Structure 1
Amino acid sequence: MQPLLFGYQRRWFQDKSRFKIGKFARQTGKTFTTTLEIVDDAYAAAVAQKRTRWVILSRGERQAAEAMNEGVKLHAKAYGLVFDEVKPYDWVGENGSYRALEVELPYGSKITALPANPDTARGFSANVFLDEFAFHKDSGAIWKALFPVISAGWKLRVTSTPNGKSGKFYELDTADDDTWSRHVVDIYQAVADGLPRDIEELRAGIADDDAWAQEYELQYLDEASAWLSYELISAVEDANAGDPDGYQGGPCYVGRDIGRRNDLHVIWVWELIGDVLWCREIIEQKREKFHVQDMAFDEVMRKYNVARACFDQTGMGETIVEAAQRRYGERIEGVLFNNSSKLIMATEGKQRFEDRTVRIPEGNVTLRSDLHKLRKVSSATGAPRFVAERDEDHADRTWAAFLGIHAATTPQMEYGYIPVHRAPSKFEETGSERDDGAPYRLGSMRRSRGIY
């Protein structure tokens, strides 16, 4: 019944251990294979005229939908299991409601997919699949809520790519015990087992040693000196961030990190919704002429209601800041980068991440790596300084983000603003709301988020 599987997928599928954990390289089919096992279990139950129950807990609504539609639904049809269409409904828990997707199979077997949180984790008595568990927000709390539920004999499947030396997945994967059947599939093992990937092409494409080590070689990167841990970064990722079409016309704060030859030129646009800064757009340029960079910034000023913009004024930034101030007046502020100003901006940025009052694009490997690479070290005199090691761009995206956050710490200025004509924001097309009170709708992005 099952489709042809690569060697590592077959080993995972055939392992019937009650507790099973898999550390897989990115895009090696871990969700596809685990949903196949779930459907196979439902098929075996149907043959025996029994029922089974599975719950898939994903990092968000989009991932839950992918697991259901590109995994469960596909496999169930291949097995010839008759079912109605996937049914969406609002699952109501103690702390709110969550969008769930469910399919009912012969003899009453059910498979449900929904976002993971402590509420949903304790809400079912079922076999459980924790999909990309290292990226779940509040993974420790989810685990505490979940384990009493599955202790009554249910099975547990946990898969993920590493996400730094923190979180419950890291703890489970590195524990010295015999409870778990552990599977490790890095990109080299996957390709050796038949996965059609060009390893050198992948490595050249990601162009980041840390990201490659973690996403494809499955190394846990050290969190001890990272200014922003992967746990902090994951906690503020959102599927709707980084999409200019989501702009609601509110005040925006812009950070602009200047670079020409070796460094990136990055423009980061934040929109303030309630007390949350939503990333609306990240523009990156390398080796572009300064007038082209200025054109990109002018377009930002035209598209968005920019209350304030902070530029890196160091070195070549002096002339660029002066020119922008002539065009836009006091809304433009230059920041001279030194140990003191960097500490102020980095502290403001980290506070926002810790308070979860920012939203950044979800699943952007390059951006996550850039945010994580910033380290705080002490000089010979004991003074703090920030470094970004092993990379050519020196965390330019991170400093652009922090410059924008710094711009948002100053009072909003009153000025004449004529908005450009724009289609209604995707968030304005529905009456539903986000947790910060702003209109909200999940949906497919109409352009690439975060990196252009």
Structure 2
Amino acid sequence: MGAANDITAPPPISSALEGWAVMSAKVGSLSPMDDLPSLLMPYQIEAIQLSDQHQLFVSEKSRRTGLTYAFGADAVLTAAPAQGGQDFFYIAYNKDMTREFIGYCADFLQAFDQLATEPKEFLHNDGSDEGINAFRIDLPSGHKIVALSSKPRSLRGMQGKVLIDEAAFHDQFSDLLDAAMALTMWGGRVVVISTHNGADNAYNELIEDIRSGKREGVVQRVTLKDALRQGLYQRICLRTREPWSPEAEAKWEASLRKRYGTAAEQELDVVPSRGSGIYLARATIEQAMSHELPVIRLACPDGFERHGEEYRTSWIKEFLETEVAPYLADFDPNRPTYFGQDFARNGDVSPVVFGQRDESMRRVARFLLEMRNVPFKDQEMILNWIISRVPMFACGKMDARGNGSALAEAMQQEWGFDRVEAVQTSEKTYLAFMPKLRSAIEDQMLLIPWDEGVMDDLRMIKLVRGIPMIPDRGKVSKADGDSGKRHGDDAIALMHFVAASDEDIGPIEFFSAGQRSTHLASGPVSTRGFGSAGARAGFVR
């Protein structure tokens, strides 16, 4: 992601916000009060800051959360400085929106005590015969704020910061974005904000491309709930001079949702319509699967944890040397190794995926180990045993929710906090990591074992309120050698494996005792033991 250019970026937003509590009285037509909140809410300030830190910033938002208003302030902060300032261009899909934005800018100029020309409508020369109607404010700095119509040619020859508002409703959004991105070559910034307009819209495709890593940029998500938690309704009460209370806020939200009806999910909860349901099709997953890659299953007998440590260690070690060690020889000794894990102690599977990238940069899950009913300490012993034997261990990501935090911390202490990340899985991590997993599977840049349990777990990923995640449910697996319930655990382990393989961390300088290397660069190959009945059945005494 592009970093802010020190020469062209405006000054830090924090310095410009110092006097905003007083200025909000002017802009909001309120009497000054000692306890008056800052003019912008946290998510509005965050949006401005992120837009200065990244050359492409996208905000998917609920209706009427005030981001356009906030960027009116940003437009003034961007264009006002004589040194380090730049022009600001606002693009909307209709004239009323451009006129409204210019009005916001005029209000902020007055609040900031900045001199400028009165907003004026003019005919912008875009190289065509007819030109484009636009609004403009000229500042003493020599920079300008211009509000243009939604035509890609309107940015011809321009330089500065561009805001595309309600992008999902622009007829030529893709072409407009391409034109805007040309401004980033010389230090410009591109801001895209919008509510959703369907899952198949070019705006939603842009968001998915950024989240999957296909495109450089950063995405902010602001639902109505997010805005309310950060004071949206309290701000509305300040403007309307109505008393605020939690009860009044709840009643207001309920009424708003009732007015939106079935459109509330898209308009208020930031869930693109037709965007719920299956996240990965079965046929797509099958294309990423190989019969040559193993799933190794270990199920400890009931009461295993009651045995002494010496017995348990001997039992586990025999399993590792018999069922796991043969596959360690199939790792490429000259390539870094990564792992992803999802923790469970009882009931669910506790899987860990170890793999590498091949010559084509495709991720290959060399093996997937599923553990059931394995005591905490023995899971730690298993991970240490494997990591100490794989070649060039570089990075791993582990589930650190609940009891998993103890195992993740132990591995961090053993192998380094910079190499092992303890992941607190949440909606944010799902949004950050799941699109990368889907992209790797759809683009056939991830090779995984051909296994019914793995298939079941990946098929459990659903879009819930626009977020790809595992719903809270379990099912009986059809996987060979595994009769327990599944909860999408392999999907989480694979998600963490893909994310770990994207980390730029050099490998530890030691090599495994493996004697040979098998590459899977151009499709399935025959390798000793891959997919064997013994590997699938696991090790159960």
TM-score normalised by the shorter chain: which range applies?
Answer: 0.3 to 0.5
TM-score by length of 1: 0.46
Q: Greater strand percent: which structure?
A: 1
TM-score by length of 2: 0.38
Instruction: Tell me which structure has the larger Cα radius of gyration.
Output: 2
